[in-house]
Protein backbone atom coordinates (compact mmCIF):
# COMPACT_ATOMS: atom_id res chain seq x y z
CA UNK A 1 0.00 0.00 0.00
CA UNK A 2 1.35 3.47 -0.82
CA UNK A 3 1.92 5.47 2.36
CA UNK A 4 2.82 9.01 1.33
CA UNK A 5 2.52 11.41 -1.58
CA UNK A 6 5.01 10.98 -4.39
CA UNK A 7 6.32 13.68 -6.71
CA UNK A 8 3.76 15.24 -9.03
CA UNK A 9 2.41 12.79 -11.59
CA UNK A 10 3.34 13.55 -15.18
CA UNK A 11 0.09 14.06 -17.12
CA UNK A 12 -0.70 11.23 -19.49
CA UNK A 13 -2.89 10.87 -22.56
CA UNK A 14 -6.58 10.31 -21.72
CA UNK A 15 -7.39 6.62 -21.68
CA UNK A 16 -10.54 4.85 -22.81
CA UNK A 17 -12.52 2.95 -20.17
CA UNK A 18 -13.84 -0.40 -21.41
CA UNK A 19 -16.38 -2.41 -19.44
CA UNK A 20 -18.67 -5.16 -20.74
CA UNK A 21 -18.05 -4.31 -24.38
CA UNK A 22 -18.74 -0.60 -23.91
CA UNK A 23 -16.18 2.14 -24.30
CA UNK A 24 -16.16 5.51 -22.53
CA UNK A 25 -13.55 7.85 -23.92
CA UNK A 26 -12.67 11.45 -23.08
CA UNK A 27 -15.82 13.55 -23.20
CA UNK A 28 -18.10 10.57 -22.56
CA UNK A 29 -20.11 10.35 -19.36
CA UNK A 30 -21.31 7.19 -17.62
CA UNK A 31 -23.99 7.28 -14.95
CA UNK A 32 -23.42 4.81 -12.11
CA UNK A 33 -26.60 4.37 -10.06
CA UNK A 34 -26.57 3.19 -6.45
CA UNK A 35 -28.54 0.18 -5.24
CA UNK A 36 -28.21 -0.27 -1.47
CA UNK A 37 -28.88 -3.81 -0.24
CA UNK A 38 -28.56 -2.52 3.32
CA UNK A 39 -31.07 -1.86 6.10
CA UNK A 40 -29.26 1.28 7.31
CA UNK A 41 -28.22 3.38 4.31
CA UNK A 42 -27.85 7.08 5.08
CA UNK A 43 -29.88 7.88 1.96
CA UNK A 44 -32.77 5.43 1.57
CA UNK A 45 -32.96 4.02 5.11
CA UNK A 46 -33.38 0.45 3.92
CA UNK A 47 -36.05 0.97 1.26
CA UNK A 48 -34.16 -1.33 -1.15
CA UNK A 49 -32.95 -3.85 1.43
CA UNK A 50 -35.41 -6.57 0.44
CA UNK A 51 -34.21 -8.74 -2.46
CA UNK A 52 -37.09 -7.90 -4.80
CA UNK A 53 -36.90 -4.21 -3.92
CA UNK A 54 -33.20 -4.13 -4.79
CA UNK A 55 -33.66 -5.88 -8.13
CA UNK A 56 -36.64 -3.70 -9.04
CA UNK A 57 -34.69 -0.57 -8.06
CA UNK A 58 -31.91 -1.60 -10.41
CA UNK A 59 -34.42 -1.98 -13.25
CA UNK A 60 -35.92 1.47 -12.57
CA UNK A 61 -32.49 3.09 -12.51
CA UNK A 62 -31.51 1.43 -15.76
CA UNK A 63 -34.74 2.69 -17.34
CA UNK A 64 -33.83 6.15 -16.05
CA UNK A 65 -30.54 6.10 -17.92
CA UNK A 66 -28.00 4.34 -15.71
CA UNK A 67 -25.09 2.80 -17.61
CA UNK A 68 -23.80 1.09 -14.48
CA UNK A 69 -25.58 -0.15 -11.36
CA UNK A 70 -23.45 -0.22 -8.21
CA UNK A 71 -24.74 -2.76 -5.70
CA UNK A 72 -23.57 -2.51 -2.10
CA UNK A 73 -24.22 -4.67 0.94
CA UNK A 74 -22.46 -2.70 3.67
CA UNK A 75 -23.19 0.84 4.83
CA UNK A 76 -20.14 3.06 4.34
CA UNK A 77 -20.30 4.71 7.75
CA UNK A 78 -20.00 3.20 11.22
CA UNK A 79 -22.75 0.81 12.24
CA UNK A 80 -23.63 -2.80 12.81
CA UNK A 81 -20.84 -5.20 11.87
CA UNK A 82 -21.38 -7.04 8.59
CA UNK A 83 -19.10 -10.02 8.08
CA UNK A 84 -18.08 -11.30 4.62
CA UNK A 85 -20.65 -14.12 4.67
CA UNK A 86 -23.49 -11.68 5.33
CA UNK A 87 -22.20 -9.26 2.71
CA UNK A 88 -22.15 -12.09 0.17
CA UNK A 89 -25.68 -13.10 1.17
CA UNK A 90 -26.88 -9.55 0.56
CA UNK A 91 -25.27 -8.87 -2.81
CA UNK A 92 -24.47 -12.05 -4.75
CA UNK A 93 -28.06 -13.06 -5.53
CA UNK A 94 -28.94 -9.49 -6.51
CA UNK A 95 -26.00 -9.38 -8.92
CA UNK A 96 -27.10 -12.66 -10.49
CA UNK A 97 -30.73 -11.51 -10.80
CA UNK A 98 -29.82 -8.14 -12.33
CA UNK A 99 -27.45 -9.88 -14.74
CA UNK A 100 -30.20 -12.26 -15.85
CA UNK A 101 -32.76 -9.46 -16.24
CA UNK A 102 -30.37 -6.96 -17.88
CA UNK A 103 -27.61 -8.81 -19.74
CA UNK A 104 -26.31 -5.60 -21.31
CA UNK A 105 -25.90 -3.45 -18.20
CA UNK A 106 -22.56 -2.93 -16.45
CA UNK A 107 -22.78 -4.24 -12.88
CA UNK A 108 -20.50 -2.88 -10.18
CA UNK A 109 -20.24 -4.10 -6.59
CA UNK A 110 -19.18 -1.78 -3.78
CA UNK A 111 -16.85 -3.90 -1.63
CA UNK A 112 -13.36 -3.81 -0.17
CA UNK A 113 -13.15 -7.58 0.49
CA UNK A 114 -11.53 -10.03 -1.93
CA UNK A 115 -13.65 -12.97 -0.73
CA UNK A 116 -16.79 -11.03 -1.59
CA UNK A 117 -15.29 -9.86 -4.88
CA UNK A 118 -14.65 -13.43 -6.01
CA UNK A 119 -18.25 -14.50 -5.45
CA UNK A 120 -19.81 -11.49 -7.16
CA UNK A 121 -17.44 -11.76 -10.12
CA UNK A 122 -18.66 -15.32 -10.58
CA UNK A 123 -22.25 -14.07 -10.28
CA UNK A 124 -21.79 -11.61 -13.16
CA UNK A 125 -20.23 -8.38 -11.85
CA UNK A 126 -18.10 -6.34 -14.26
CA UNK A 127 -16.50 -3.87 -11.83
CA UNK A 128 -15.24 -3.92 -8.23
CA UNK A 129 -15.77 -0.57 -6.57
CA UNK A 130 -13.21 -0.47 -3.75
CA UNK A 131 -14.06 2.77 -1.97
CA UNK A 132 -11.68 2.08 0.94
CA UNK A 133 -8.43 2.46 -0.96
CA UNK A 134 -6.95 -1.00 -1.35
CA UNK A 135 -6.99 -2.23 2.23
CA UNK A 136 -7.25 -5.78 0.80
CA UNK A 137 -4.57 -6.24 -1.91
CA UNK A 138 -6.34 -9.45 -2.94
CA UNK A 139 -9.09 -7.40 -4.58
CA UNK A 140 -6.81 -6.53 -7.50
CA UNK A 141 -5.88 -10.20 -7.84
CA UNK A 142 -9.55 -11.12 -8.12
CA UNK A 143 -10.12 -8.42 -10.73
CA UNK A 144 -7.20 -9.75 -12.74
CA UNK A 145 -8.28 -13.38 -12.46
CA UNK A 146 -11.84 -12.69 -13.58
CA UNK A 147 -11.07 -9.97 -16.13
CA UNK A 148 -13.23 -7.38 -14.39
CA UNK A 149 -12.62 -3.70 -13.69
CA UNK A 150 -11.40 -2.04 -10.50
CA UNK A 151 -11.95 1.34 -8.85
CA UNK A 152 -8.85 2.64 -7.05
CA UNK A 153 -9.92 5.16 -4.42
CA UNK A 154 -8.33 7.46 -1.84
CA UNK A 155 -9.77 7.01 1.65
CA UNK A 156 -7.02 8.67 3.66
CA UNK A 157 -5.55 5.32 4.78
CA UNK A 158 -8.29 4.84 7.36
CA UNK A 159 -9.92 1.58 8.34
CA UNK A 160 -13.16 0.75 6.50
CA UNK A 161 -16.29 2.22 8.07
CA UNK A 162 -14.44 4.61 10.37
CA UNK A 163 -14.45 8.40 10.45
CA UNK A 164 -11.06 10.09 10.78
CA UNK A 165 -10.40 12.46 13.66
CA UNK A 166 -8.71 15.74 12.72
CA UNK A 167 -7.21 14.28 9.55
CA UNK A 168 -4.73 16.58 7.78
CA UNK A 169 -2.81 16.71 4.51
CA UNK A 170 -0.04 18.98 3.30
CA UNK A 171 -1.82 19.07 -0.06
CA UNK A 172 -4.90 16.87 -0.21
CA UNK A 173 -5.06 16.85 -4.02
CA UNK A 174 -1.41 15.81 -4.35
CA UNK A 175 -2.05 13.03 -1.84
CA UNK A 176 -5.15 11.86 -3.70
CA UNK A 177 -3.38 11.79 -7.05
CA UNK A 178 -0.26 10.05 -5.77
CA UNK A 179 -2.20 7.42 -3.88
CA UNK A 180 -4.80 6.54 -6.50
CA UNK A 181 -2.38 6.42 -9.42
CA UNK A 182 -0.01 4.23 -7.40
CA UNK A 183 -2.89 1.87 -6.65
CA UNK A 184 -3.84 1.86 -10.33
CA UNK A 185 -0.31 1.00 -11.46
CA UNK A 186 -0.12 -1.70 -8.80
CA UNK A 187 -3.36 -3.15 -10.16
CA UNK A 188 -1.91 -3.20 -13.67
CA UNK A 189 1.16 -5.00 -12.33
CA UNK A 190 -1.19 -7.56 -10.73
CA UNK A 191 -2.77 -8.23 -14.13
CA UNK A 192 -5.84 -5.97 -14.16
CA UNK A 193 -6.52 -4.54 -17.61
CA UNK A 194 -5.34 -0.94 -17.78
CA UNK A 195 -8.49 0.05 -19.68
CA UNK A 196 -10.71 -1.35 -16.90
CA UNK A 197 -9.32 0.79 -14.07
CA UNK A 198 -10.77 4.03 -12.69
CA UNK A 199 -9.43 6.32 -9.99
CA UNK A 200 -11.71 7.95 -7.42
CA UNK A 201 -10.91 10.82 -5.03
CA UNK A 202 -13.62 9.45 -2.70
CA UNK A 203 -15.11 12.69 -1.41
CA UNK A 204 -15.80 12.54 2.36
CA UNK A 205 -13.79 9.31 2.80
CA UNK A 206 -10.83 10.20 5.01
CA UNK A 207 -11.56 13.87 4.36
CA UNK A 208 -13.33 16.75 5.99
CA UNK A 209 -15.58 19.14 4.07
CA UNK A 210 -12.74 21.50 3.18
CA UNK A 211 -10.72 18.60 1.75
CA UNK A 212 -13.65 17.41 -0.35
CA UNK A 213 -14.31 20.89 -1.69
CA UNK A 214 -10.63 21.34 -2.56
CA UNK A 215 -10.61 18.03 -4.41
CA UNK A 216 -13.71 19.11 -6.33
CA UNK A 217 -12.23 22.49 -7.18
CA UNK A 218 -9.02 20.94 -8.51
CA UNK A 219 -10.41 17.76 -10.04
CA UNK A 220 -8.88 18.71 -13.37
CA UNK A 221 -5.46 17.89 -11.92
CA UNK A 222 -6.69 14.36 -11.35
CA UNK A 223 -8.25 13.90 -14.78
CA UNK A 224 -5.02 15.21 -16.31
CA UNK A 225 -3.28 12.01 -15.23
CA UNK A 226 -5.09 10.25 -18.08
CA UNK A 227 -6.83 7.72 -15.84
CA UNK A 228 -10.64 7.75 -16.07
CA UNK A 229 -11.99 9.46 -12.94
CA UNK A 230 -15.08 8.41 -10.99
CA UNK A 231 -16.77 10.91 -8.69
CA UNK A 232 -19.19 9.86 -5.96
CA UNK A 233 -20.67 13.04 -4.52
CA UNK A 234 -24.39 12.29 -4.44
CA UNK A 235 -26.06 13.78 -1.34
CA UNK A 236 -22.83 13.58 0.65
CA UNK A 237 -22.10 15.45 3.86
CA UNK A 238 -19.70 17.94 2.26
CA UNK A 239 -22.48 19.06 -0.10
CA UNK A 240 -24.85 19.65 2.81
CA UNK A 241 -22.23 21.42 4.94
CA UNK A 242 -21.15 23.64 2.04
CA UNK A 243 -24.76 24.81 1.78
CA UNK A 244 -25.11 25.70 5.45
CA UNK A 245 -25.85 22.31 6.95
CA UNK A 246 -28.61 20.96 4.72
CA UNK A 247 -30.01 17.52 5.59
CA UNK A 248 -29.77 14.62 3.16
CA UNK A 249 -33.20 15.26 1.65
CA UNK A 250 -32.27 18.81 0.61
CA UNK A 251 -28.92 18.18 -1.11
CA UNK A 252 -30.21 17.35 -4.60
CA UNK A 253 -29.48 20.74 -6.21
CA UNK A 254 -26.02 20.84 -4.65
CA UNK A 255 -25.35 17.34 -5.93
CA UNK A 256 -26.24 18.29 -9.51
CA UNK A 257 -24.07 21.42 -9.33
CA UNK A 258 -21.13 19.34 -8.12
CA UNK A 259 -21.68 16.80 -10.89
CA UNK A 260 -21.62 19.55 -13.50
CA UNK A 261 -18.40 21.07 -12.14
CA UNK A 262 -16.82 17.60 -12.09
CA UNK A 263 -17.93 16.83 -15.63
CA UNK A 264 -16.54 20.11 -16.97
CA UNK A 265 -13.19 19.15 -15.44
CA UNK A 266 -13.15 15.79 -17.23
CA UNK A 267 -14.67 13.27 -14.83
CA UNK A 268 -15.92 10.21 -16.66
CA UNK A 269 -18.17 8.20 -14.29
CA UNK A 270 -20.71 9.65 -11.85
CA UNK A 271 -22.06 7.60 -8.93
CA UNK A 272 -25.54 8.90 -8.06
CA UNK A 273 -28.84 8.05 -6.40
CA UNK A 274 -31.01 9.81 -9.03
CA UNK A 275 -29.98 8.51 -12.45
CA UNK A 276 -32.55 10.51 -14.45
CA UNK A 277 -31.54 13.90 -13.03
CA UNK A 278 -27.86 13.10 -13.42
CA UNK A 279 -28.37 12.09 -17.04
CA UNK A 280 -30.17 15.38 -17.74
CA UNK A 281 -27.51 17.49 -16.01
CA UNK A 282 -24.70 15.74 -17.86
CA UNK A 283 -26.51 16.22 -21.20
CA UNK A 284 -26.48 19.98 -20.56
CA UNK A 285 -22.77 19.87 -19.71
CA UNK A 286 -22.07 17.98 -22.91
CA UNK A 287 -23.90 20.63 -24.97
CA UNK A 288 -22.06 23.43 -23.20
CA UNK A 289 -18.72 21.75 -23.78
CA UNK A 290 -19.55 21.22 -27.46
CA UNK A 291 -20.52 24.87 -27.87
CA UNK A 292 -17.29 25.98 -26.21
CA UNK A 293 -15.16 23.77 -28.46
Give the Cα separation of 97 and 209 in Å (integer).
Answer: 37
Is the pLDDT at 289 greater than 70? The verdict is yes
pLDDT band at 4 (very low <50, low <70, confident <90, very high): very low
Q: Residue 267's pLDDT is what?
A: 98
How many separate domains does the chain show?
A: 1
pTM: 0.93
Domain that holds residue 97: 26-292
Residue 21 included in any domain:
no
For strands 230-232 and 149-153, give the pairing.
unpaired
Residue 11 included in any domain:
no
When pLDDT is averaged across residues 20-46 and rounded to a whole number, the result is 92
Residue 283 included in any domain:
yes
User: Annotated catalytic sites, by residue?
Assistant: 236, 271
pLDDT tens by residue, 131-168: 999 999 999 999 999 999 999 999 999 999 998 888 99
Q: Residue 276's pLDDT is what?
A: 98
Instruction: For residue 54, give the CATH number of its domain.
Output: 3.20.20.20
pLDDT tens by residue, 71-84: 999 999 898 999 99
When pLDDT is averaged across residues 23-52 and rounded to a whole number, the result is 92
Residue 60 included in any domain:
yes
Please give the angle made by the CA atoms of 218, 64 and 243, to the nearest 5 degrees: 40
Contact residues for 32 (Cβ-Cβ < 8 A; gap 6+): 66, 67, 68, 69, 70, 108, 230, 232, 269, 270, 271, 272
Residue 171 included in any domain:
yes
pLDDT tens by residue, 56-109: 999 999 999 999 999 999 999 898 999 999 999 999 999 999 999 999 999 999
State what percent of residues in the chain have pLDDT above 70. 96
Amino acid sequence: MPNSPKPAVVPGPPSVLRLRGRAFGPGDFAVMAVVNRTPDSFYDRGSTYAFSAAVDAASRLIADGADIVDIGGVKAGPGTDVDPAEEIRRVADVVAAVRERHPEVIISVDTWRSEVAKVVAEAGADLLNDTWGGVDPGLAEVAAAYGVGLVCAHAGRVEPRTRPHRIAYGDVVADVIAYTTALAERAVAAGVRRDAILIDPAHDFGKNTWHSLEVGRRLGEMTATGWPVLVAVSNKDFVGEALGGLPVGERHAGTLATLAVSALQGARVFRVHDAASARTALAVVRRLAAARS
